[in-house]
Amino acid sequence: MNIQLMFLRTISTFALVAIFAATLGCVTNQAEVIPDPAKTSEAPKTVNSPTEISRSISQKIQSSQYSSNLQVSGESIKASKSLPALYQSRNYSPIWTGDDDPLPQAYEMIEVIRESPAEALDPSDYNLSQIEQVLSRGSSPETMAELDLLLTNAYLNYGHDMLYGRVSPEQINLELMFGETPVSLNELLITSVAENNIRESLIDLAPAYPVYAQLRDALSGYREIASNGGWPTVPGTAKFQRGARGPRVSALRERLKVTGELSPSSADSEVFDEELHQAVLRFQERNGLYVDGVVGKSTIEYLNVPASTRVRQIELTMERFRILPRNMGSRFILVNIANYHLYGVSNNRDNTTMRIVVGKPEWNTPIFSEQMTHMVINPYWNIPPSIFKDDIAPRVRTDPNYMSDRNIQAVGLEMPAIEEVSAPEEDATEITEASEGEEVTETEQAEPAEHPAHAEYRSKVLSGKYRLRQKPGPRNPLGRVKFLFPNKHSVYLHDTPNRGYFKRAQRNFSHGCIRVENPIGLAEFVLYSDPDWSGQRVQSTIYSGTTRTVHLAEPLPVYVLYFTAWANTDGSVSFHKDVYGLDSVLANALNSKTPYTEQATNIH
């Protein structure tokens, strides 16, 4: 009986345990089922600890204090100067990677690098091949650390190149009054990753002046033309025009269809008709040629420049814009030496445009920026010593009246006032007519001898010890207005009495200063914020003949620059000769791969 009772108690106990276990199992199933790794068909993925990736990043940075490169898979890569400080500020935590995979922002950055040619940049400058190689290696802590460093380096270098350019101003002889406002690319990177706007943050660093974006849009089209073999050439050198017939006319039609001066739907014809004439006029106008509709030597030369050359001109112009401050000012003057135009810009829109004359190749107008502070109405011309020596002194030697005829004074030296006496009639010079082949004879009495006082005055002038200046007037080379932005080159903007130069296509005839086509229009732009000075008042002051200095209420930035490609208001691109050879200087600087030392760093 006792044994049976004990057996029943044991059975009851097991039953209770079973019921309790079943109940516990139900509760567990309602919460979470944790699979048994041994019974699953796929082993769990290894999860990297952020600490492991951080440790690897830290080791790579701290072991490279005395080198200028970053070592990735045994390859040496130039690193950004600010990269170490960025990771140190984050205690070396990764930026672009999660526990075991790159973040979506990492893939967006890779796409930005792949698309960098659209900005006239080179993907190899941003470690694209190394990034793709690291991506293919898996997701170990060391691999993720290398990927993180490469992407950070790419962002910082890309941002630098968009904001400051790939070469320094000094490398291309550009003197800037002020550079770009400093931007913390480290902070921009962290913010753009957090807000998931990598692409936008870098595009926003592009130059604000609209010509840059217009050239960027045009670049892809010209690259496509070049990749498809370029455009057809116009054979021969003899000029032809409206009314001409033949295969050269057909070639001209096909050429102008490619760049849009002639509609692609225009009928094929060997006749140079009015439609083709208008297309030639458009091509000449866009490219700064003499606009006459005649396809002559210069027009044929421009038509036959290879498409690849035009692509390179656009790329170099975009690079020049990046070297400038992104925002050049709310109001500024931009002088483009290469296309012989001046632009008065307000809120990044061209408010006034005019033709200019710039320096001869042997008297290059320098590229620089400064601030305009004042203008002078009815100015004196203070003759530079170099111009006196080369141009004026030889004329003074041969013409005793050269200075007096042109109202030129030697400051501190008074020209003697001597009453002129008419020569007796019988002493006048006579010239006898002679038949062809015979000598012309004169009487013994020639021009009267120069007065000794005048000769002495000229001798003192020619000694070079006196500063010369020309009084205001119709023969003054500065015209009626000059605009000054003090600089070491003594270059300024000014009017000119020689208006014919503005009708020429190539306008490099000065000694370095810049002659403007519309000085009154420029004065109105410059004095925009001064209610006391209107164009009408400037004009009336000119008529008075009085010399008047007008100070600007606020200094106005002036940029004297050099762009051989330019975007027009209709979206077309005009191209101009590299008359000073400065595109070659920039191309050589880019090819040298000389680092911008202020942005370099020491990491491997």
Q: What is the pLDDT of residues 221-240, one digit of tens each?
A: 999 999 999 999 999 999 99
What are the structural domain ranges in the chain? 50-203, 231-305
Token pair belonging to 591: 């090819």
pLDDT of residue 417: 66
Confidence check: pLDDT of 378 > 90? yes
Confidence check: pLDDT of 22 > 60? no
Amino acid identity, position 43: A
User: Could you tell me the CA-to-CA distances from 564 to 215, 311, 315, 520, 575 in Å, in that order?
Assistant: 12, 11, 10, 27, 6
CB neighbours of 312 closer than 8 A, spacing ≥ 6?
583, 587
> Which ranges of 32-82 would DSSP assign to H, the alpha helix?
50-62
Give this prediction's pTM. 0.82
CA distance 526 to 373: 10
Cβ distance 45 to 100 under 8 Å? yes
State the architecture of 231-305 in CATH terms: Orthogonal Bundle (1.10)
Question: For the residues 6-15, what does the mean pLDDT come to?
Answer: 42
Residue 98 — φ and ψ, nearest 5°?
Answer: -95, -150
pLDDT of residue 451: 72
Of 136-145, 269-278, 360-369, 498-507, which gets the smallest average pLDDT? 136-145
CA distance 128 to 125: 8
pLDDT of residue 48: 55
User: Which of the four pLDDT bands, split at 50, 70 and 90, describes residue 448?
Assistant: low
pLDDT of residue 419: 54
pLDDT of residue 219: 97
Confidence check: pLDDT of 445 > 90? no
Question: For the residues 390-414, what does the mean pLDDT come to?
Answer: 85
pLDDT of residue 16: 37
pLDDT of residue 197: 96
pLDDT of residue 594: 52
CA distance 190 to 197: 11
3-class secondary structure for 446-502? CCCCCCHHHHHHHHHHHCCCCCEEECCCCCCCCCCEEEECCCCCCCCEECCCCHHHH
Residue 21 — φ and ψ, nearest 5°?
Answer: -65, -40
User: Which of the four pLDDT bands, split at 50, 70 and 90, describes residue 50?
Assistant: low
Average pLDDT, the chain: 84
Give the residue with greater pLDDT, 304 vs 474. Answer: 304
- DSSP states of 308-365: HHHHHHHHHHHHHHHHS-SS--SEEEEEETTTTEEEEEETTEEEEEEEEEEE-GGGPP
Confidence check: pLDDT of 430 > 50? no
User: Which of the four pLDDT bands, split at 50, 70 and 90, describes residue 7?
Assistant: very low
CA distance 62 to 92: 10
CA distance 320 to 85: 30
User: Which of the four pLDDT bands, split at 50, 70 and 90, describes residue 35?
Assistant: very low
Q: Within 10 A of 117 (CB to CB), how many other CB atoms are there?
A: 13
